[in-house]
């Protein structure tokens, strides 16, 4: 990119939330902007552990500061997409903390009540979005830093699957589990930013391509099974407990089935992040600087990083093995649920209280977040309304790696339900949300998802608009075409089936007819569950289409035709159903 940004004037104080606020927005040159410009007209800020060429990266440690010559990969992509950079935001030093007070530039207050913490470490990035100073911002998330500030400030915090967004040019906290995160006031906007930012980048050793891990491009079921911790912890905060009960009631009203899941193994995984040799990765991120300038690092960040010296290489391998054992223990949980929902944070904390007890109160803020990156999950924090004391409460949807879009789809629906209630707010602003802010975003296209699909021909109750069509759509199936079989089939209306169903059988060419069918493309990962739900006497076999091609499709066992009615002359099930009720509109 061709630009000559002026260095910041550090002699002047910057507004709350900022470390560097530019006098004029930074944009890509016209020659470097994408023709698509998916983010054109939007403004953003980045956490100050993310490189912007020509601006110091301080990580909230002035003695550490350096001035990069190139943008972080993610900044480059967002500028290419037409967004304008407004500046860099305050953070807990070296992204070590979940509260937003561990900075020599000052504590970032909660956007609703300045007596309370904003959450961290991406504190400034959340604050400037909540207050409407930018449209979206970037944070980083290792232990919950892209989610806790969102929940405490009534905005969306999207922590994508690890490796979706390049971390090249991002100073790590713990590189193997770090994720660049997105703050916005709505889920659809956060999803747009993710689609603009996502890319495989060989400069990031943990980057993943869609080939490495396909994007799931089908939604969760209409009535999903949602995992809820069997033991909930709010540290005596009754307002948060009641707010989560309200959230659960809202989920039930939306059709969700709530399933209790054992939280103990997830809590054990969370404890490993700071309570085992895994903390040594934080020392590895800034080792040369820290060992030479330890007193330049503020407390308690200094003590947290310094404790890594007491661990051996053997301890690291033992901690990694323990984590893998926990991962194996919790995997069966996903057989019973589609995704999890937890409080984003169990409580709000006053700034003065946290400064008196900086370690324990910080730990409490991460009770529901620390395990997520360690176990390679995706997560989305969504506003869930205001508590009885007027402070925000958020819930986090957690899914398996690659399930970013179905989380966004359900998160949008949930946020829309919240916004329909009285006293709903958009961040900490007085603005109201537009319909586009609550419109479910389109899934990643097939070229991006790379998930293999299989074509299935449906002939009866699974046709579009028919009673069982949802069994296809809830699995992410797409209607490809309406066509006909080869003239080798007969169609029967089966007796005593609910909902009414036809039976298709293959016969000789002299006695058969062509029958109308729809061809649906079904993700291969969903094919087994779809076929398993087909009741006898129906099943899946190979159909021949009128063009001579072959496709998987519904066929019927011959014994079921004893009391069935031959309806082949209607040419298809839709026409037959219309003939049974001629006064109804065509389906």
| pLDDT at residue 437, as a whole number | 87
CA–CA dist 291, 277 (Å, integer): 18
Helix (H) or strand (E) holding 314: helix 313-330
Q: Tell me the two tokens of residue 454.
A: 């299989």
Region label for 312, one of left (φ > 0), alpha (ψ between -120 and 50) or beta (otherwise): beta
What is 452-580's CATH number, 3.40.50.720, 3.50.50.60, 3.10.490.10, 3.30.70.260? Answer: 3.10.490.10
**Cβ-Cβ contacts under 8 Å for 331 (sequence gap 6 or more):** none
| pLDDT at residue 29, as a whole number | 79
| pLDDT at residue 4, as a whole number | 37
CA–CA dist 418, 254 (Å, integer): 11
Provide the 3-class DSSP secondary structure of residue 200.
coil
- Whether the model pTM is above 0.85: no
The string of pLDDT tens digits covering residues 105-117 is 999 999 999 999 9
For 28, other C-beta atoms within 10 Å of its C-beta total 23
Q: Is the pLDDT of residue 9 over 50?
A: no
Q: Tell me the two tokens of residue 402.
A: 């690659």
Nearest to 419 by CA among 176, 155, 85, 71: 155
What is 18-217+342-446's CATH number, 1.10.287.3610, 3.90.1300.10, 3.40.50.720, 3.40.50.620? Answer: 3.90.1300.10
Mean local confidence (pLDDT), 277-305: 95
The string of pLDDT tens digits covering residues 233-259 is 999 999 999 999 999 999 999 999 999
Q: What residue ranges do the domains of the chain occupy? A: 18-217+342-446, 452-580
- In DSSP terms, which residues pair with 553 in a beta bridge? 457, 541
Confidence class of residue 451 from pLDDT cuts 50, 70 and 90? low
The string of pLDDT tens digits covering residues 40-66 is 999 999 999 999 999 999 999 999 999
Average pLDDT across the chain, whole number: 91
| pLDDT at residue 7, as a whole number | 43
Q: Is the pLDDT of residue 583 over 60?
A: no
Q: pLDDT: is 548 or 329 the higher one?
A: 329
The rounded percent of the chain whose pLDDT value lies above 90 is 78
CA–CA dist 570, 177 (Å, integer): 60
Q: Tell me the two tokens of residue 407.
A: 């989380």
User: First and final CA of the chain: distance in angstroms?
Assistant: 55
Q: Which residues are catalytic?
A: 47, 121, 145
Q: Is the pLDDT of residue 409 over 50?
A: yes
| pLDDT at residue 551, as a whole number | 92
The string of pLDDT tens digits covering residues 526-577 is 899 999 999 999 999 999 999 888 999 999 999 999 899 999 999 999 999 9
Confidence class of residue 221 from pLDDT cuts 50, 70 and 90? confident
Degrees, nearest 5: CA angle 343-348-351: 150
Q: Tell me the two tokens of residue 484.
A: 């006909």
Phi, psi (5° rounding) for residue 117?
-70, 155
CA–CA dist 195, 200 (Å, integer): 12
Q: Is the pLDDT of residue 125 over 90?
A: yes
Confidence class of residue 2 from pLDDT cuts 50, 70 and 90? very low
The string of pLDDT tens digits covering residues 129-168 is 999 999 999 999 999 999 999 999 999 999 999 999 999 9
The string of pLDDT tens digits covering residues 494-534 is 998 999 999 999 998 788 999 999 999 888 888 999 999 99
**Range with the poorest average pLDDT among 139-143, 230-234, 258-262, 471-475:** 471-475
Relative to beta strand 565-566, strand 516-523 is unpaired
Helix (H) or strand (E) holding 291: helix 287-292
Mean local confidence (pLDDT), 361-387: 97
Residue 284: exposed, middle, or buried by beta-carbon count in 10 A (0-12, 13-18, 19+)?
middle
Mean local confidence (pLDDT), 320-348: 96
The string of pLDDT tens digits covering residues 419-442 is 887 778 889 998 888 888 889 888
Nearest to 512 by CA among 478, 540, 550, 485: 485
Relative to beta strand 225-229, strand 339-343 is parallel
CA–CA dist 145, 96 (Å, integer): 9
């Amino acid at each position: 990119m061709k630009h000559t940004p002026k260095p910041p004037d550090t002699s002047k104080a910057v507004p709350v939330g900022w470390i560097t606020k530019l006098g004029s927005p930074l944009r890509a040159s016209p020659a470097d902007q994408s023709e698509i410009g998916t983010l054109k007209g939007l403004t953003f800020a980045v956490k100050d552990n993310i490189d912007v060429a020509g601006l110091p990266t301080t990580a909230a440690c002035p003695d550490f500061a350096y001035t990069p010559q190139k943008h972080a990969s993610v900044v480059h992509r967002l500028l290419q997409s037409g967004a304008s950079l407004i500046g860099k935001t305050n953070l807990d030093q070296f992204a070590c903390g979940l509260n937003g007070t561990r900075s020599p530039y000052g504590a970032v207050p909660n956007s609703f009540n300045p007596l309370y913490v904003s959450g961290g470490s991406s504190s400034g990035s959340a604050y400037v979005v909540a207050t409407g100073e930018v449209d979206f911002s970037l944070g980083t998330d290792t232990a919950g830093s892209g989610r806790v500030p969102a929940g405490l400030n009534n905005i969306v915090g999207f922590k994508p699957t690890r490796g979706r967004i390049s971390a090249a040019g991002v100073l790590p906290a713990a590189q193997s589990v770090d994720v660049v995160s997105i703050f916005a006031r709505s889920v659809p906007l956060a999803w747009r930013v993710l689609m603009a930012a996502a890319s495989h980048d060989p400069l990031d050793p943990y980057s993943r391509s869609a080939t490495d891990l396909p994007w799931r491009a089908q939604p969760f079921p209409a009535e999903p099974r949602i995992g809820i911790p069997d033991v909930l912890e709010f540290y005596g905060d009754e307002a948060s407990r009641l707010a989560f009960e309200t959230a659960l009631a809202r989920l039930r009203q939306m059709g969700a089935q709530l399933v209790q899941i054992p939280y103990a193994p997830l809590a054990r995984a969370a404890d490993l992040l700071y309570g085992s040799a895994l903390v040594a990765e934080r020392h590895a991120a800034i080792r040369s600087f820290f060992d030479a300038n330890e007193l330049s690092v503020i407390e308690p960040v200094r003590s947290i990083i310094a404790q890594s010296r007491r661990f051996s290489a053997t301890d690291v391998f033992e901690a990694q093995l323990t984590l893998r054992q926990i991962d194996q223990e919790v995997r069966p949980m996903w057989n019973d649920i589609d995704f999890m929902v937890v409080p984003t944070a169990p409580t709000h904390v006053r700034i003065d209280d946290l400064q008196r007890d900086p370690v324990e109160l910080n730990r409490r803020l991460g009770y529901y977040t620390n395990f997520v990156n360690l176990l390679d999950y995706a997560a989305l924090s969504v506003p869930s309304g205001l508590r009885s004391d007027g402070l925000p409460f958020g819930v986090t949807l957690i899914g398996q790696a690659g399930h970013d879009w179905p989380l966004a789809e359900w998160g949008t629906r949930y946020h829309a339900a919240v916004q329909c209630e009285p006293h709903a707010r958009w961040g900490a602003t007085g603005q109201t949300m537009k319909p586009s802010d609550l419109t479910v975003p389109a899934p990643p296209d097939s070229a991006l998802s790379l998930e293999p699909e299989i074509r299935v021909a449906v002939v009866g109750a699974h046709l579009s608009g028919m009673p069982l069509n949802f069994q296809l759509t809830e699995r992410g199936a797409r209607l490809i075409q309406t066509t006909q079989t080869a003239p080798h089939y007969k169609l029967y209306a089966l007796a005593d089936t609910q909902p009414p169903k036809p039976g298709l059988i293959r016969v000789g060419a002299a006695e058969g007819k062509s029958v109308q069918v729809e061809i649906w493309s079904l993700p291969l990962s969903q094919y087994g569950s779809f076929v398993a739900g087909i009741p006898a006497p129906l099943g899946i076999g190979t159909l021949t289409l009128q063009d001579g091609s072959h496709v998987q499709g519904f066929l019927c066992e011959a014994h079921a035709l004893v009391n069935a009615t031959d309806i082949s002359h209607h040419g298809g099930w839709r026409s037959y159903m219309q003939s049974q009720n001629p006064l109804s509109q065509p389906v």
